[in-house]
Structure 1
């Protein structure tokens, strides 16, 4: 099957309600039984067909009552209003897993496992992140606020740095892991405190991660 030629890359940050090891990455059940969180991406290089996506920003909120693979979830895309109509349509299709090979990206999987897709929101996205330093600050209009920082061991000793390496991953190959907190009052509500934070430089196309 032929897909629209698309590609996006840029810094990505996310926060979910699980512990620092994020059991989903190890094929285990969520820390608290359910899964909910968000991710944000600033596209520094990208296109969807003839549409240039450089400089656009989008976020995705998600929630499942159990493990992701059990389905019955919900999701909502938020796009920075600075995007043109063509860019908005392109981002919405990419984040909904369209024009993508089956199971090739986490966006495809998320959409397949969601029964409910909330209307896309258009809110200004302010996003700052230092991937290697494991810091982030996100403000999405009046609907979402998130921060990220390095993990600090309870016994002291300063910052703790750890990464997750998945050679065959569908979301990332290597991600920096840290501490994150998020509140959101969009279609999906979030109240996350000192849980799994994830930083990586995303590179995706119709066939999944681009190496």
Structure 2
């Protein structure tokens, strides 16, 4: 396999309740699964191709749980990427040059019977992992934002994290509230549903773990 490594700041929003049963190997809150992931590569390479600073977004939808398949997905890649960078990033996002089922990207692609052609657009993205805030915009396609969960009892910000030592996406993620609108092949209209803020570190062998 081609050697690759990606360290990224990411934000995601899906249609599940704040607890996202999928993270616990349970069925999605509403029976189906749909959402978005946006990321910025802090440090990354694919072979000798540098990926530092590039953004991406993934839109996805499944009629049931992800593991049941028959999903739809579309990748959107930062238009600043040159041809080699575009090819490299799309390979990774589509599960290429990756050991079987070792990243969530591999699983998403394997569980999607429809993979729309990628598009290349300017992607505005900002995220603060500790504060649980995020915003991303892709002109004509996507608007998404995240904020802390607010306690209905006290009105104060509520902080909760999900820790998955053996996960294929992250080791630990901050959880918040998020909203998204998206148009195109995958339409999203999410309001105050599951928001996820995390650092991601992947190679073709899976998650690089920093903790035992």
Q: Pick from 32, 36, 39 the counterpart of residue 38 of structure 1.
A: 36
Q: Pick from 4, 7, 15 the counterpart of residue 5 of structure 2.
A: 7
Distance in 1 (alpha carbons) for counterparts of 2:101 and 2:184: 27
Q: Pick from 193, 196, 199 the counterpart of residue 197 of structure 2.
A: 199
For residues 80-134 of structure 1, give each alpha carbon's deviation from its aligned partner in whole angstroms, at most 9, with x where no partner exists: 1000000000010000001000010000000110000001011110001100100
Distance in 2 (alpha carbons) for counterparts of 1:62 and 1:82: 23
Q: What RMSD over aligned residues (CA atoms) do the two structures have, in Å? A: 0.6
For residues 121-163 of structure 1, give each alpha carbon's deviation from its aligned partner in whole angstroms, at most 9, with x where no partner exists: 1111000110010000110121000010000011224000000
Q: 2:58 matched to which residue of 1?
A: 60
Structure 1 unmatched ranges of 5 or more = none
For residues 17-50 of structure 1, give each alpha carbon's deviation from its aligned partner in whole angstroms, at most 9, with x where no partner exists: 0001111110100000000001011001000011
For residues 161-186 of structure 1, give each alpha carbon's deviation from its aligned partner in whole angstroms, at most 9, with x where no partner exists: 00000000000000000000000002
Alpha-carbon distance, 1:76 to partner: 0.2
CA contact (8 A) 1:144 1:186 kept: no
Q: 2:47 matched to which residue of 1?
A: 49
SS in 2 for 1:88: helix
Q: 1:73 matched to which residue of 2?
A: 71
Aligned length: 209
Alpha-carbon distance, 1:55 to partner: 1.0
Distance in 2 (alpha carbons) for counterparts of 1:141 and 1:166: 34
Distance in 2 (alpha carbons) for counterparts of 1:17 and 1:80: 25
Q: 1:102 matched to which residue of 2?
A: 100
Distance in 2 (alpha carbons) for counterparts of 1:141 and 1:5: 33
Q: Pick from 147, 150, 154 the counterpart of residue 149 of structure 1.
A: 147
Distance in 2 (alpha carbons) for counterparts of 1:186 and 1:46: 29
Q: 1:125 matched to which residue of 2?
A: 123
Alpha-carbon distance, 1:79 to partner: 0.5
Q: 1:189 matched to which residue of 2?
A: 187
